[in-house]
A and B are shown apart, each in its own frame.
Chain A
Amino acid sequence: MAELTYREAVAEGIAQEMRRDEDVVFLGEDIGAAGGVFKATVGLLKEFGPVRVRDTPISEQAILGAAMGSAMTGLKPIAEIMFSDFLAVCWDIVANEIAKARYMTGGQMSMPLVIRTANGGGSRFGAQHSQSVENWAMMVPGLKVVAPSTPADVKGLLAAAIRDPDPVMFFEQKSLYPIKGEVPDGELVDELGTAKVLRDGDDVTICALAAMVPRAIQAAEILSSEHGIEATVVDLRSLVPLDTKTILRETAKTGRLVTVEENPRLCGWGAEVASIVADENFWDLDGPVIRITTPHIPLPAADELEDATMPSADRIVREVSEKID
């Protein structure tokens, strides 16, 4: 067991798969010689050389087009879109092309590719470099959507995404890059579409994703020690496929659901989770579903403003303790 940072786990996951499969290639802006703007891909160019690790111009459509064209003809590319906000400039390739090719052609095409991107707030970058857009991808049929919260999950889920025969959008939460965690030694391959129950409690079930997971855990400890409320915390890890079995089981157990999302309020992933639970677990609900989200505004840049905007552990404690009875 080694202790790695979230960013080191990215490079480890990619390297593990590039070592095992020659068809895995990697492209993006500043990923090679510079080692990535978040230093999440340091060492890959050195180990695998410029034929497999390719720096690109600032051309997001060309990057994802190259990923798609190479995936449908036999490679397994990993493409980096530096900030998830930039997905908006190449969304055509993501939503109209990559996601639909297999279905539209009656299964003639395969699309084994991964789009990695730095997602979410907490780094004081302002509204165009801080969005949490995993819900955009979740809305498009044909895309798998993964967002890990720990270094071990980064490595294991990234490996699983690279091996998956379908296109996977891999959202790395950029404020988590420096966090450290234990990562098992040796080959690590996780399973897409599986949520993890990180804490067990009888009073309320909190579903969270990515950077909201450590905040939910912290909130659960405070709820326990200061309010006598025991929370179950579920890390969804993957939005598509969605592990509804775990969500339904854990919410039926406590009768209460809280979703903690970084998405702005409207159509965040929590809305879908709440809808599924209301629909299928209605007779097990012991009170209203609570959604904790970023307000429906562009994210502001200044420390105080950003901190007051994104869901924090304190806000989770406040909302849960006030609304749970």
Chain B
Amino acid sequence: MAMNVIMPQLGETVSEGTVSVWHAEVGDKVSPKTPLFDVSSDKVEMEVPAPGEGTLLEVRVEAGTTVSVGEVIAIIGKEGEAVEVVAPPAAEKKETKAEITAPAPALSIATKASNRDSNGNPLSPAVRRLIAENGLDPDTISGSGAGGRIKKKDVLAHLGSGAAAKPAPRTDSLTISGETEVIPFNNLRKMTAEHMVRSKATSPHVLQAVEADFASVGRARQAVSTQWKEREGFSLTWLPFVARAVCIAIRDFQRINAQIEGESLVVQRRINLGIAVDLDFDGLVAPVVKDADRMSLSELARAIRDVSSRARANKLTPDDFTGGTYTISNSGVFGTMITAPIINQPQVAILSTDGVTKKPVVIESEDGESIAIRPVGVLAQSFDHRAIDGAYSAAFLHRVREVIETTSWKSMLT
């Protein structure tokens, strides 16, 4: 019995995906244990196994093609089986009906596309969505409706005609000639590049940094290090402490946790922390730990571990990228001293933590001044000067440092 391979839903808010690579050719044996194809969507690349055991009978969609969720992209069956016996359309409908998803968030569409074209004809919600999603100019689309109104099918025809740019197929092949090596950007690299340029163009960045004494954090890590590793299966790093301190500091400095809309600052009540994760030098992602402020230190450590390990295993879904309100980037493992991070749009600030190293520190006490060896790290924040000013950012950083230095972290873990 032949079965359909459909474009899977990569997340609750996603309606299409791009087949980036096929791992099998027609005639190959496939199984649910091995990847059949890679699919990419926005920021995610995901390996998808075959839905069942069998032989790949037909591939309906070439690598690089973007199709709607639920669309049949290949057929699996017994070797030599006629392809015509695919499940009947009625069953097909039933199978995909659960996949119909809510449209993209209303706000972004409403602000991106006007509800009339330049001739004064109404643009329907469906047309406005398609125009916004594909970055189209309505004046380049010819309308077939009453009075030249652009209908949904006109936009689809426009997109299908090649008049609009199509997503380029992914390729991993290298072109080597003479002294140069050309490495084409993969989707993730392209996304990252586009985002960085846009962020720099959008936000006037200002960098500020403070030095923090990590002695209290160091004592806590040392005290629980072995038992933590045994119990949780991973090491307790500096990062969760910084993240926790950020959550506490945001309570006093809520404008750090915000985004700019038009001429307003929209302050977010929830604190959803983006955690920047490097994917083996092959790209950068910032999955989000939602409601980070409601988590205990241990919970936060686990949540950060969860998103970063899923990021490295290519197991993130688009939902993991939505809703971030503030981002932390951590380059500490390489011992850097300071990094000027680029803001993760549409947020207004980002924090970079770098290496924590032992340094001589002057300690002031009632007995006078003395020099001690302390673990010290730099906390560097880039902020959007449209949203806040230097004093506010500095006060926030001061608070983060205060929390890191004065909290009795050990008591939270033991």
Rounded to whole angstroms, the CA-CA distance of A325 and B144 in the bound complex is 8
| Stretch with Cβ within 8 A of A (4 or more), from B49-57, B93-101, B259-267 | B93-101
Type the 1/0 row for B105-138, where 1 means its CB is closer than 8 Å to any CB of A: 0100100000000000000111111000000000
Contacts of B128 in A (CB 8 A): 283
Chain A 279-295 near chain B by CB (<8 Å), digits 1 or 0: 01111111100000000
Contact call A283/B152, Cβ cutoff below 8 A: no
Q: Are B98 and A286 in contact (CB under 8 A)?
A: no
Say whether B103 contacts A286, CB under 8 Å: no
CB nearest neighbor in A for B150: A286
Q: Which of A197, A246, A286, A325 contacts B126 (CB 8 A)?
A: A286
8 Å CB contact of A283 from B93, B97, B126 = B126
Q: Are A283 and B104 in contact (CB under 8 A)?
A: yes
Residues on B with C-beta less than 8 A from A284 are: 103, 125-126, 129
Contact between chains at B97 and A286 (CB < 8 Å)? no
Contact B100 A283, beta carbon cutoff 8 Å: no
How does the 8 Å CB contact mask read for A158-197 relative to B, with 1 for contact and 0 for none? Answer: 0000000000000000000000000000000000000001
Q: B93 CB to closest chain A CB, in angstroms? A: 7
In the complex, whether B151 has a CB less than 8 A from a CB of chain A is: yes
Interface membership of chain A positions 238-265, coded 1 if the CB is closer than 8 angstroms to chain B and 0 otherwise: 0000000110110010010000000000
CB nearest neighbor in A for B105: A283
Does A202 belong to the interface (CB within 8 Å)? yes
One digit per residue, 1 when the CB lies within 8 angstroms of any chain B CB and 0 when it does not, for chain A 291-325 equals 00000000000000000000000000000000001
Whether B176 sits at the interface, judged by CB under 8 Å, is no
Chain A residues with CB under 8 A of B102: 280
Residue in chain B with minimal CB distance to A280: B102
Q: How far is B152's CA from A255's CA once the two chains are assembled, in angstroms?
A: 7
By beta carbon, the residue of chain B nearest A251 is B100
Q: Are B93 and A197 in contact (CB under 8 A)?
A: yes
Asked whether A249 lies within 8 Å of B97 as measured between CB atoms, the reply is: yes
Give the number of residues in A that approach B within 8 Å (Cβ atoms).
17
Chain B residues near A202 (CB, 8 Å)? 153
Chain A residue at minimum C-beta to C-beta distance from B155: A286
Q: Which A-chain residue is minimally distant from B100 (CB atoms)? A: A249
Contact A283 B149 (CB under 8 A): no
**With an 8 A cutoff between CB atoms, is B145 at the interface?**
yes
The complex places the Cα of A8 from the Cα of B128 at a distance, in Å, of: 51
Judge whether B127 and A286 touch: CB under 8 Å.
yes
Given contacts A245-B98, A255-B124, A255-B126, contact A282 B153 (CB under 8 A): no
Of B96, B109, B126, B153, most buried by chain A (CB within 10 Å of CB) is B126
Task: Name the residue on B nearest A245 (C-beta).
Answer: B97
Which residues in B have their C-beta under 8 angstroms from that of A249? Answer: 93, 96-97, 100
Task: Specify which chain B residues have a CB less than 8 angstroms from the CB of A245 in the assembled complex.
Answer: 97-98, 100
Interface 0/1 of B145-189, CB less than 8 Å to A: 110010111000000000000000000000000000000000000
Determine whether the beta carbon of B100 is less than 8 Å from that of A248.
Answer: yes
Closest-CB distance, B123 to chain A (whole angstroms): 10
**Chain B facing A: main interface SS:** helix
Closest chain A CB from B86 CB (angstroms)? 17
A residues 213-270 in Cβ contact with B at 8 Å: 245-246, 248-249, 252, 255
> Quick check: B97 and A246 within 8 Å, CB to CB?
yes
Residue in A197, A255, A283 whose beta carbon sits within 8 Å of that of B106 in the complex: A283
CA distance A197 to B126 in the complex (A): 22
**A280 cross-chain contacts in B, Cβ below 8 A:** 102
As a 0/1 sequence over residues 2 to 21 of chain A, the CB contacts with chain B under 8 angstroms (1 = contact) are 00000000000000000000
Docked pose: A230 CA to B106 CA in angstroms = 29
A282-B103 in contact (CB<8A): yes
Q: Nearest chain B CB to A141's CB is how many angstroms away?
A: 25
Partner of A282, one of B100, B125, B145: B125
Contact A283 B103 (CB under 8 A): yes
Residue of A at shortest CB range from B133? A283
Interface readout for B225-240 with A: 1 if CB under 8 Å, 0 if not?
A: 0000000000000000
With a cutoff of 8 Å between Cβ atoms, the chain A residues found around residue B93 in the complex are: 197, 249
Contacts of B152 in A (CB 8 A): 255, 286
Q: With a 10 A CB-CB cut-off, give which of A280, A281, A282 has the most chain B CB atoms.
A: A282
Q: Are A285 and B124 in contact (CB under 8 A)?
A: yes
Contacts of B109 in A (CB 8 A): 283
B100 touches A286 (CB 8 A): no
Question: Cβ of B126 and Cβ of A285 under 8 Å apart?
Answer: yes
A202 to B157, CA, bound (A): 14
- Contact among B98, B129, B149 for A325, CB-based, below 8 A: B149
List, in ascending order, chain A residues with CB within 8 A of B98's CB: 245
**Residues on A with beta carbons closer than 8 Å to the beta carbon of B106:** 282-283
Cβ of A248: which chain B residues have Cβ within 8 Å of it? 100
Are B146 and A283 neighbours in the complex by a CB distance under 8 Å? no
Cβ-defined contact, B151 with A286, below 8 A: yes
Q: Are A283 and B145 in contact, with the CB atoms below 8 A?
A: no
Residues of B within 8 A of A252 (CB): 100
Is the pair B97, A285 in contact by a Cβ cutoff of 8 Å? no
Tell me, in angstroms, the Cα distance from A252 to B104 when the chains sit together.
13
Contact in complex: A283, B151 (CB < 8 Å): no
Counting chain B CB atoms within 10 Å of each CB, the highest count among A245, A255, A283 belongs to A283
Point out the residues of chain B lying under 8 angstroms from A325, CB to CB.
145-146, 149, 151
**Do A283 and B125 touch (CB < 8 A)?**
yes
Residues from chain B with Cβ under 8 Å of A197 in the complex: 93
Residue of B nearest to A322 (CB): B146
**A23 nearest CB across to chain B (Å):** 32
Q: Which residue of B lies closest to A288 (CB)?
A: B124
Query: Which chain A residues lie closer than 8 Å to B127 at the CB level?
Result: 286
By a CB distance below 8 angstroms, the chain A residues around B103 are: 281-284
Q: Which residue of A lies closest to B149 (CB)?
A: A325
Min CB–CB distance B191 → chain A (angstroms): 23
**In the complex, residue of chain B having the shortest beta-carbon distance to the beta carbon of A202:** B153
Sample (7) of A-B pairs whose CB atoms are under 8 Å apart: A245-B98, A249-B93, A282-B106, A282-B125, A283-B106, A284-B126, A284-B129
Additional 13 contacts, C-beta under 8 A, given A246-B97, A280-B102, A286-B152: A197-B93, A202-B153, A245-B97, A255-B151, A282-B125, A283-B103, A283-B104, A284-B129, A286-B124, A286-B125, A286-B126, A287-B151, A325-B149
The 3 closest A-B pairs by CB, nearest first: A283-B103, A325-B146, A286-B152
